[in-house]
């Protein structure tokens, strides 16, 4: 396998653009599918597929133009706050094609319900097979009003500036995990972020006895991946690898062992911390005191976002990403969370999205009424449906629901490996 820098894989649509696609204030109904294909270097030789993509593009263009009506000045400034939509490499994609990968069954809100099922579910959650390296939060819990108005770890140089592209694989959890480790190592060493491999996490993290899928591109969570890395570190059997040694290649048929053969792990962690569910104060303090955190979110409405402060009542949690900070929009006064996505630099604000924040976010909640989204299965050993109840998620897009970060991130001494 060639060992290259981080590629924008599985993006026949957007790896290279021809010309420049119009921005939100330049869009109107004359912008057609042919121009879009040129701008994002796409082609659909099959006539039926072409028609299907053109139909989806037209649907999304109508949605974009309707949403943006009256929201933009002639120069592109957003009027009266909020956000605007635009075209990107996802504009001709359907919802079930969007790159997510967060598996809810590993969060206690759902796993507690699923444990009422039979042994298949128990094995899947690995209740008795894996040492837990979870550590309780170690935070000085300050009032949010006493915290800085602005925290942006990306502006401080502690977030990898290369925006990754997970492609068609449900590997968001590996990208969120890798980004948090890169950032926490950068903060600990006061050095620029290393580029670490998502691939080794994707291929090697055990996901015992899934009922339909085995983790990897089928989805998991940041916490299960961090626990795996901590276990390797504790046993001196490995950790995380450099990206240049183990490049991202989700379609590879190589095994975990073959992908990492000849490479040496360079970074380890001693554990991980998961914050209390839906706890705004904990999240804000963690961002100030610890650094970026991995979060889960309801991201089904994100694909057409171009800029501004996004808000949505969507509560179907399905995506894992990196929360790098928070702030207040200088023009509108809107408070926001700043989030680094894994959908490439063409998405949003150069790969980022700002999501609406309020100081009451722990009570700004909705119910995730579609609990089977993000679950590989919810059947007992007899094939009967387990009655999985909705779960409350808080903050816009449910960003406070599942928040975690690595503990004890350090460079590995090669001589200390077994």
From the candidates 169, 172, 377, 394, give the one annotated as an active-site residue.
172
For residues 339 and 336, give the distance between their C-alpha atoms in angstroms, rounded to a whole number: 9
Question: Residue 240 has which token pair?
Answer: 């995380």
From the candidates 89, 107, 319, 346, give the one annotated as an active-site residue.
319
CB of 98 closer than 8 Å to CB of 168: no
What phi, psi does 268 have (nearest 5°)? -125, 165
Nearest to 366 by CA among 273, 278, 265: 278
> Helix, strand or coil for residue 92?
coil
Is 318 assigned a catalytic role? no
For residues 292 and 286, give the distance between their C-alpha atoms in angstroms, rounded to a whole number: 8
From the candidates 211, 341, 346, 377, give the one annotated as an active-site residue.
341
User: Which residues, other chains included, contact 30 with Cβ-Cβ below 8 Å and sequence gap of 6+?
Assistant: none
User: Which residues, other chains included, contact 66 with Cβ-Cβ below 8 Å and sequence gap of 6+?
Assistant: none
Is 217 assigned a catalytic role? no
- DSSP calls for 221-270: -HHHHHHHHHHHHHTTS--B-BTTTS---TT----HHHHHTT----EE-S
Question: Residue 152 has which token pair?
Answer: 């942006």
Place of tokens 């989030």: 339
CB of 292 closer than 8 Å to CB of 325: yes
CB of 62 closer than 8 Å to CB of 33: no
Question: Residue 87 has which token pair?
Answer: 């075209």
User: Which residues, other chains included, contact 69 with Cβ-Cβ below 8 Å and sequence gap of 6+?
Assistant: none
Is 319 assigned a catalytic role? yes
Enzyme catalytic residues: 172, 319, 341
């Amino acid at each position: 396998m060639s060992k290259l820098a981080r590629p924008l894989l599985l993006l026949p649509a957007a790896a290279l653009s021809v010309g420049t696609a119009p921005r939100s204030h330049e869009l109107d109904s004359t912008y057609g599918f042919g121009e879009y294909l040129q701008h994002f270097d796409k082609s659909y030789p099959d006539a039926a597929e072409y028609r299907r993509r053109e139909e989806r593009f037209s649907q999304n263009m109508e949605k974009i133009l309707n949403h943006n009506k009256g929201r933009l000045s002639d120069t592109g400034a957003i009027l009266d706050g909020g956000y605007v939509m635009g075209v990107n490499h996802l504009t001709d994609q359907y919802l079930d094609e969007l790159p997510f990968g967060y598996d809810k069954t590993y969060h206690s809100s759902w796993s507690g319900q699923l444990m009422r099922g039979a042994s298949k579910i128990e094995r899947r959650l690995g209740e008795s097979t894996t040492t837990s390296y979870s550590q309780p939060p170690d935070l000085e819990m300050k009032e949010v009003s006493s915290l800085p108005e602005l925290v942006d770890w990306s502006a401080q140089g502690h977030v990898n500036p290369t925006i990754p592209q997970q492609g068609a694989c449900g590997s968001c959890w590996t990208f969120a995990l890798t980004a948090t480790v890169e950032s926490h190592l950068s903060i600990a060493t006061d050095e620029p972020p290393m580029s670490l491999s998502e691939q080794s996490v994707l291929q090697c993290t055990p996901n015992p006895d899934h009922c339909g899928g085995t983790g990897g591109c089928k989805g998991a969570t940041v916490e299960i991946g961090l626990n795996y890395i901590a276990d390797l570190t504790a046993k001196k059997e490995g950790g995380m690898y450099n990206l240049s040694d183990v490049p991202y290649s989700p379609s590879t048929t190589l095994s975990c062992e073959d992908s990492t053969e000849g490479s040496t792990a360079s970074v380890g962690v001693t554990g991980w911390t998961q914050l209390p569910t839906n706890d705004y104060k904990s999240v804000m303090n963690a961002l100030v005191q610890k650094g970026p955190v991995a979060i889960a979110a309801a991201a089904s409405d994100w694909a057409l976002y171009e800029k501004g402060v996004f808000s949505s009542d969507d509560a179907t949690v399905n995506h894992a990403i990196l929360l790098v900070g928070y702030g207040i929009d200088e023009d509108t006064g809107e408070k926001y969370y700043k989030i680094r996505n894994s959908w490439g630099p063409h998405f949003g604000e150069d790969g980022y999205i700002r999501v609406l924040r309020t100081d009451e976010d722990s009570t700004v909640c909705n119910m995730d009424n579609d609990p089977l989204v993000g679950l590989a299965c919810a059947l007992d050993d007899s094939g009967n449906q387990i009655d999985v109840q909705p779960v409350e998620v808080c903050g816009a897009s449910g960003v406070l629901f599942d928040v975690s970060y690595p503990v004890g991130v350090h460079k590995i001494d090669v001589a200390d490996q077994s």
